[in-house]
Chains A and B, each alone.
Chain A
Amino acid sequence: MVLIYIDQDEQEIKKASFEAISYGAALAKQLGTHAEGILLGTVKESVEALGKYGVSIVHQVTNSGLNNFDASVHATVVTEAAKKLGATVIVFAHNINGKAIAPAVAVKLNAGLVAGACALPKTDAGFVVTKTVFSGKAFASIKIETPIKVISVNQNSFGVIVGEGNATLENLDLPVPASKIKITSIDKIKGEVPLTEASLVVSGGRGLKGPENWGILLDLAKALGASTACSRPVSDADWRPHHEHVGQTGIQIAPNLYIAIGISGAIQHLAGVNRSKTIVVINKDPEAPFFKAADYGVIGDAFEVVPALTAAILKSKAGA
Chain B
Amino acid sequence: MNILVCISKTPDTTAKIAFVEGNTKFDENGVQWIINPYDEWYSLVRAIELKEKNPNVIIHLITVGGADTEPIIRKALALGGDEAIRVNNTSNDSMVVAQEIAAVAKGGAYDMILTGKETIDYNSASIGSMLCALLDTTFIPNAISLDVNGNTAIVKREIEGGEETCETNIPFILSCQKGMAEQRIPNMRGIMAARTKPLKVLEATIHNETTSIQQFDIPPAKSGVKLVDPSNMDELVRLLKEEAKVI
Contact = CB atoms under 8 A, between A and B. Distances in A.
A116 B123 contact: yes
Nearest to B38: A249
A98 B221 CA distance: 30
Interface in B117-135: 120-130, 132-134
B120 A96 contact: no
B187 interface: no
Interface in B192-247: 209-219, 222, 225-231, 233-234, 236-241, 244, 246-247
A43 interface: no
A170 interface: no
B147 interface: no
B140 interface: yes
Interface of A is mostly: mixed
Given A200-B247, A242-B178, A294 B225 contact: yes
A295 B37 contact: no
A277 to B, nearest CB: 6
Contact of B95 (A70, A106, A183, A248): A106
Contacts of B136: 72
Interface residues on B, range: 35 or more
A309 B236 contact: yes
B129 A100 contact: yes
A72 B138 contact: yes
Interface in A107-121: 107-108, 110-116
Interface string A215-227: 0000000001000
Contacts of B127: 103
Nearest to B124: A115
Given A96-B141, A112-B210, A181 B129 contact: no
B190 interface: no
A141 B139 CA distance: 29
Interface stretch (B54-62, B64-72, B74-82, B155-163): B155-163
B168 interface: yes
Contacts of B166: 181-184
A137 interface: yes
A76 B234 CA distance: 53
Nearest to B142: A96
Given A96-B142, A268-B13, A304-B230, A135 B159 contact: no
A73 to B, nearest CB: 9
Contacts of B128: 100, 103
Contact of A297 (B19, B133, B172, B227): B227
Interface stretch (A19-27, A83-91, A187-195): A187-195
Given A99-B129, A312-B237, A313-B237, 18 more contacts: A14-B160, A71-B141, A72-B136, A72-B137, A99-B126, A100-B128, A100-B141, A101-B129, A107-B130, A138-B218, A143-B211, A181-B166, A187-B162, A249-B178, A257-B246, A271-B13, A296-B227, A309-B233
Interface of A: 9, 14, 69-72, 75, 95-96, 99-108, 110-116, 128, 130-146, 180-189, 192-194, 196-197, 199-200, 224, 242-243, 245, 248-250, 252, 256-257, 267-268, 271, 277-278, 280-281, 291-301, 304-305, 308-309, 311-313, 315-316
Interface of B: 11, 13-14, 17, 19, 37-38, 41, 93-95, 98, 120-130, 132-134, 136-142, 154, 158-169, 172, 178-179, 209-219, 222, 225-231, 233-234, 236-241, 244, 246-247
19 contacts: A72-B136, A72-B139, A96-B141, A96-B158, A106-B130, A108-B133, A110-B210, A113-B210, A140-B217, A145-B212, A184-B166, A188-B162, A189-B161, A197-B160, A268-B13, A278-B240, A280-B236, A296-B226, A304-B230
